[in-house]
Amino acid sequence: MINRVLLLAAIVGIIVFGVLPVGAEDEVKRAFTDHTEEFHKVWVHLLWDIGIIGGIFLILSIYFMFAYRRKRDDQIGNGPKFTTMGMILGWALIPSFIFMADDFYLSAQGWKLWIDQRTVPENAMEVEVTGQMWGWEFEYENGAISDNDEGLVVPEGRPVVLRMKSDDVVHSFFIPRYRIKEDLMPGRVTYLWFYPKDKGEHVFTCTEFCGTNHSEMWGKVKVVSQEEFDEWSEKNKG
Amino acid sequence: MIKEWLFTTDHKRVGILYLVGSLAAFAVAGIVALLIRWELTGIGETIGGVGPDDYNFWLYFHGAAMILAFLIPGLTGFLANYLVPLMIGAHDVAFPRVNAFSVWLFWFAIVIALLSFVIPDPPDIMWTGYPPYSSEFSPGNTAFYVFTVHLIGFSSILGAVNFLCTVIYMRAPGMKWNQLNFFVWTILGAFVIQLIFVPVLASSVTLLLTDKYFGTAFFVPANGGDVLLYQNLFWFYSHPAVYVILLPAVGVMMEIISNMSKNPIFNYKAAVYGGVWGVVVLGSDVWVHHLYTSGLADWIRIGMMVTTLIISIPIGLLIISLVGTLFRGSIKYSTGMLYATSNLFLILVGGLTGIPLAMTSLTLHLAETYFVMAHFHFIMGIMATFAVFAGIYHWFPKMTGRMYSEKLGVIGFVLNFVGVNLTFWPLFYIGFLGMPRRYYDYAMFPEFEPFQVMATVGAIVVAVSMALNFYNWIVSAIFGEKAPENPWGSNSLEWTHCQSPPGPGNFPKLPKVSSKWHPHEYKPQVIEWV
């Protein structure tokens, strides 16, 4: 009897701790999360969060400001007295814990999104980005080359990872549409990735001050169909 | 007369010298801000003959002058110098000559900063001065930036030593720590930050100087340096510097709100030991949130996200005390009180928009956009400026012995409040849509033009209000009617024991403080002299 129970437990254990995670891992490898969409979920949560906190404080202060105006010249305030330790600590610790709970809630949200933003999908297309005063150069896996007039041409529906470095000063590559940016600097390679799933043109800009023509260091991310992309990259090779 | 002011060691005169210097810097940097806003009303070159290089210099000057020559000296120079010895019942600061030396260092720094208007290649490196642009590629004279920072930094360190000693050793007989004015606590916190962190800033800009002019390679990766070293060192000081500005600003608000609502500060001890000192301690562990997109290791960005969000706890305690002090008060609105209470709105907007910026994953989008710019203008620019203005109005009768014009003050305040909101709310919006900072031109976002125009209109409204404020102060200081001894019915020593304006040595005799006395208590209290 005991042996059977042990055997059953072993089988269940192997399934739960052995087989299932292996399957799950495969799934993780294949799938990725479009962080641009996740960004909007977190953003909406956040707006509610700061809206409620701000609303409470604002309504209270405006109410106090009108309700407690001075009626007689010799009138003095009648605010609460903090004479006992319980009162002092209570009014310090209870709000602190509420704020802290909210901080941890937001941290968790931010952290989850952060993992999505920093985990590059395996099938991502690599593009090498070089920033220099004052323009960009993009080099594709097949040797195709582009710049900021031509734009960052990418195929629709395949994640793109940018490996970025700078030839001179600190720059920063920013695509507002995909809610991401990361600095480029001499001596380091940085990265960011995004999922272009909508055809069209989206602005990218430099967002780290880099001298006279900083504000001209912009271009378009051009999301095209796979066929158009293949054709384009063939043409721009070398 | 001129000699008297040049060689003065009196903390009140030193304070006034700080005020004049910082308001001069404020006026010039404010005019520059107007030019910047005007340039942005249209796409491309808007002001005839102004190219990106002029614009970049303006941005540099506006940022550096407002932070280093107006906000920090206005709050920790002017207000601290004028008020702290009066509030703690001292005849002067601990080292009056050092104090005079530090104000003149500050004036020299302003002269150097202003000289950059006339030199051939003015610095165009923004107030952050990031290498390798500032050290290798910029045609501008980085040295003018470095020496301005050195002089102001030296002045701040001297001020810090001076005021810490003053508060520790020169309090009136019988004055316990828990009987200090709230403003004095915030100044203590601010100067502890200055004393610890200014040397870091000084060292980082010194390395910049040697990189640029003596060929060292601290920030040149090709020669074994590191670009991020500067950014880390710079923000290691410059983030706490934000609290050097925030803390005294909250201190001024708390003083005025408590005084004008005749209410003791709501949970004074929690605000002091949790709020002020919490900010000082936690504020030193969050600098990486300025480097969220800089390619630092992922784990440190997450770690500093948590510490940055935790800052909301001490700030929250301060805000609870500010709002709670109004509760069941007896509120009378003077111009100073209007500035102080409207600051509650600014501190909430500025503080809460800081929360997405604390979250590294949201900052990946928001960093270096107008959203950041609007955020720090609300919390640091406008909030702290309103605090300085509130302070000037509230203690105007103390400093000059005369009353300012309340009518002009209120009109100025309303214009100011409307103007700043008109300026910065559109910028939040286009910032979220992706408008990057420090752009001379925005040809990629032509749809943002109406918002830029709206912001410029707001800036012009603010400029009108500033003219009214300056006029009000100058005219009232000379021709205003005599102020009563204690116009706000305060119980703090500077109102109850001194003349207005206080004579040399402040107090005829030292005031003696009983254990029942508290500066923020408005019931009739026993006042004694030694």
Angle between helices A35-67 and B312-326 (to 10 degrees): 20
Ordered by where they begin, the domains of chain B are 2-529 (1.20.210.10)
pLDDT tens track for B18-63: 999 999 999 999 999 999 999 999 998 988 889 999 999 999 999 9
Residue found under tokens 């009617």: B481
Q: Following DSSP, what letter does each residue of B371-388 receive, concatenated?
A: HHHHHHIIIIIIHHHHHH
- Cβ–Cβ of B439/A214 closer than 8 Å? yes
Q: Does B177 score more than 50 pLDDT?
A: yes
Question: Across residues B283-307, what is the average pLDDT?
Answer: 92
pLDDT band at B146 (very low <50, low <70, confident <90, very high): very high
**What fold is seen in the domain A125-235?**
Immunoglobulin-like (2.60.40)
A120 touches chain B (CB under 8 A): no
pLDDT band at A17 (very low <50, low <70, confident <90, very high): low
> The tokens of A51 are what?
């809206």
ipTM of the complex as predicted: 0.91
pLDDT at A23: 47
A192 bridge partner residues:
A162
B306 touches chain A (CB under 8 A): yes
Percent of chain B past pLDDT 70, that is, above it, reads: 99
Q: Which of B56, B133, B300, B428 to mutate to test the interface with A (most CBs of A within 10 A)?
A: B133
- Cβ–Cβ of A75/B330 closer than 8 Å? yes
pLDDT tens track for B148-173: 999 999 999 999 999 999 999 999 99
Q: Does B258 score more than 50 pLDDT?
A: yes
Contacts of B324 in chain A (CB under 8 A): 79-80
pLDDT at B115: 93
Measure the CA–CA gap between B88 and B519, rounded to whole angstroms: 10
| A13/B232: higher pLDDT | B232
pLDDT band at A9 (very low <50, low <70, confident <90, very high): confident
Cβ–Cβ < 8 Å for B172, B511: yes
B360 touches chain A (CB under 8 A): yes
Q: Does A85 score more than 70 pLDDT?
A: yes
Q: How far apart are the first and last CA of chain B?
A: 33
pLDDT at A12: 67
Question: Across residues B202-220, what is the average pLDDT?
Answer: 94
How many angstroms separate the CA of residue A212 from the nearest CA in chain B?
Answer: 6
- Cβ–Cβ of A92/B364 closer than 8 Å? no
- Cβ–Cβ of A209/B126 closer than 8 Å? yes
Contacts of A109 in chain B (CB under 8 A): 359
Q: Which of B344, B361, B430, B438 to mutate to test the interface with A (most CBs of A within 10 A)?
A: B361
Letter for the amino acid at A99? F
pLDDT at A11: 67
Contacts of A165 in chain B (CB under 8 A): none
Nearest to B59 by CA among B32, B41, B25, B39: B32
Contacts of B367 in chain A (CB under 8 A): 172, 181, 207
Question: Across residues A92-106, what is the average pLDDT?
Answer: 95
Percent of chain A past pLDDT 90, that is, above it, reads: 76
pLDDT at B128: 93
Residue B379 CA: distances (Å) to CA of B247, B345, B492: 12, 10, 28
Cβ–Cβ < 8 Å for B60, B113: no
- Cβ–Cβ of A180/B368 closer than 8 Å? no
Q: Does B11 score more than 90 pLDDT?
A: yes
Measure the CA–CA gap between A20 and B74, rounded to whole angstroms: 64
Q: Which of B145, B281, B326, B375 to mutate to test the interface with A (most CBs of A within 10 A)?
A: B326
Q: Does B497 score more than 80 pLDDT?
A: yes
Closest chain B residue by Cα to residue A106: B359
pLDDT band at A16 (very low <50, low <70, confident <90, very high): low
- Cβ–Cβ of B438/A203 closer than 8 Å? no
Q: Which residues contact B332 (CB under 8 A, 6 or more apart)?
A: A69, A70, B260, B261
B441 touches chain A (CB under 8 A): yes
Alpha-helical regions (H) of B40-141: 52-64, 72, 80-88, 96-115
Residue B123 CA: distances (Å) to CA of A209, B229, B438, B486: 13, 21, 15, 47
Q: Which of A114, A162, A220 to mutate to test the interface with B (most CBs of B within 10 A)?
A: A114
pLDDT at B226: 92
pLDDT at B441: 93
Contacts of B364 in chain A (CB under 8 A): 117, 179-182, 192
How many angstroms separate the CA of residue B303 from the nearest CA in chain A?
Answer: 10
Q: Where are the domains of chain A?
A: 33-52+86-119, 125-235
Nearest to A193 by CA among A124, A128, A138: A124
Continuous segment of H or E residues that includes residue A224: strand A218-224
Nearest to B33 by CA among B432, B460, B468, B470: B460
Evaluate the CA torsion angle A151, A162, A23, A21 in order and state its sign.
Answer: negative
Tell me, yes or no, if the pTM score tops 0.95: no
B349 touches chain A (CB under 8 A): yes
pLDDT at B37: 95
Measure the CA–CA gap between B440 and B43, rounded to whole angstroms: 9
Letter for the amino acid at B279? V
Among A46, A58, A70, the residue with its CB nearest the CB of B345 is A58
A11 touches chain B (CB under 8 A): no
Contacts of A215 in chain B (CB under 8 A): 52, 438-442
Residue found under tokens 């968790």: A108
B433 touches chain A (CB under 8 A): yes
Residue B62 CA: distances (Å) to CA of B25, B52, B67, B113, B123: 9, 15, 8, 11, 12
pLDDT band at B2 (very low <50, low <70, confident <90, very high): confident
- Cβ–Cβ of A103/B313 closer than 8 Å? yes
B330 touches chain A (CB under 8 A): yes
Question: Across residues A193-208, what is the average pLDDT?
Answer: 94
Residue B83 CA: distances (Å) to CA of A98, A133, B67, B195, B242: 36, 49, 21, 20, 21
pLDDT at B529: 66
pLDDT at A61: 95
Q: Is B505 left (phi over 0), alpha (psi -120 to 50) or beta?
A: left
Among A43, A58, A172, the residue with its CB nearest the CB of B293 is A172
Mean pLDDT of chain B: 94
Continuous segment of H or E residues that includes residue A111: helix A85-118
Cα R_g (chain B), whole angstroms: 23
Q: Does B125 score more than 60 pLDDT?
A: yes
pLDDT tens track for B233-254: 999 999 999 999 999 999 999 9
Q: Does A69 score more than 60 pLDDT?
A: yes
A204 bridge partner residues:
A219
B353 touches chain A (CB under 8 A): yes
Letter for the amino acid at B29? A
Show which of residues 203-222 on chain A sit within 8 Å of chain B, judged by CB atoms. 203, 205-216, 218
Question: Across residues B347-372, what is the average pLDDT?
Answer: 95
Contacts of B441 in chain A (CB under 8 A): 215-216
Q: Which residues contact B413 (CB under 8 A, 6 or more apart)?
A: B335, B338, B339, B342, B465
Q: For residue B355, how many other CB atoms are within 10 A of its CB?
A: 23
Cα R_g (chain A), whole angstroms: 28
Question: Across residues A68-90, what is the average pLDDT?
Answer: 92
Q: Does B200 score more than 80 pLDDT?
A: yes
Measure the CA–CA gap between B210 and B215, rounded to whole angstroms: 6
3-state DSSP assignment of residue A164: strand
- Cβ–Cβ of A46/B137 closer than 8 Å? no
- Cβ–Cβ of B361/A42 closer than 8 Å? yes
Cβ–Cβ < 8 Å for B81, B18: yes
Q: Which of A39, A44, A60, A65 to mutate to test the interface with B (most CBs of B within 10 A)?
A: A65
